[in-house]
Chain A
Amino acid sequence: NAGVTQTPKFQVLKTGQSMTLQCAQDMNHNSMYWYRQDPGMGLRLIYYSASEGTTDKGEVPNGYNVSRLNKREFSLRLESAAPSQTSVYFCASIGHSRLMIETQYFGPGTRLLVL
């Protein structure tokens, strides 16, 4: 089991460029998440997908789009990167059930620098 994987690990962009961050999980989880982490701000939810075929905005969705390609994959797209999007991005997943709350598993992160 690889768990949650993210690509790329590092990326440098110029203002206005676009890119897609990829995330995949092999745990058959229903829900997937994208967070950004900035110093002193903790983790902030960008978008989430409660199940395949659905996506919803989180706390800080502006400037981002997402695609839940299938149950395994959840991508995050920056259409026109801005310096304010310099951050570390984490993908996560949870397998929900009605009986208990499952553990959230995280990928290793993508460090993005926008110049």
Chain B
Amino acid sequence: AQSVTQLDSHVSVSEGTPVLLRCNYSSSYSPSLFWYVQHPNKGLQLLLKYTSAATLVKGINGFEAEFKKSETSFHLTKPSAHMSDAAEYFCVVSDLGSYIPTFGRGTSLIVHP
């Protein structure tokens, strides 16, 4: 069985400071993990994905995430927040052979000027 927990419902940062959005997962097999971003009144867009290649994954807009099997974590980071990063972020886990990805509840990123 697969599950995912996003540890923060809201994260607030100042523009130019680092961003950390936390995600823990549970999976029976070797999972694939995804981060999606949803800007207000928009659909979901893929930021990055891990599929058992390199454990440090680089995505769009300067985001990256590190797969840590020992900690069952897949945290999303960015060195310097921009106002345009304000959005909802979803962590998703999917086991090979599963037709149903499991979504976290989402983390709302707020960026202050």
Contacts of A94 in B (CB 8 A): 99, 101
Which of A12-20, A67-75, A103-111 lies on the face that meets chain B?
Answer: A103-111
CB of B86 within 8 Å of the partner chain:
no
Contacts of B106 in A (CB 8 A): 42
Contact B46 A103 (CB under 8 A): yes
* Assembly CA distance A104 to B46 (angstroms): 8
Contacts of A34 in B (CB 8 A): none
Main secondary structure of the interface of A (DSSP, over half): loop
Cβ-neighbour of B100 out of A42, A58, A108 (below 8 A):
A58
CB of A96 within 8 Å of the partner chain:
yes
Contact A100 B99 (CB under 8 A): no
Among A11-59, those with CB < 8 Å from B are 31, 40-43, 45, 48, 50, 58
- Count A/B pairs, Cβ under 8 Å: 48
Contacts of B32 in A (CB 8 A): 100-101
Contacts of B104 in A (CB 8 A): 42
Scoring B36, B43, B46, B49 by chain A CB atoms within 10 A of each residue's CB, the highest score goes to B43
Contact B46 A107 (CB under 8 A): no
Within the complex, the shortest CB–CB distance from A112 to chain B, in Å, comes to 14
Contact B90 A43 (CB under 8 A): yes
Contact B51 A31 (CB under 8 A): no
Chain B positions 47 through 62: 1 when the CB is less than 8 Å from some CB of chain A, otherwise 0: 0010100000000000
Instruction: List 15 additional contacts besides A42-B104, A92-B44; criterion CB under 8 Å.
Output: A40-B9, A40-B105, A58-B100, A90-B43, A96-B99, A100-B51, A101-B51, A101-B95, A101-B96, A104-B92, A105-B46, A106-B45, A108-B42, A109-B42, A109-B43
10 A-B pairs within 8 Å (CB atoms) are namely A40-B9, A42-B104, A48-B99, A92-B44, A100-B51, A100-B96, A104-B101, A106-B43, A107-B43, A108-B42
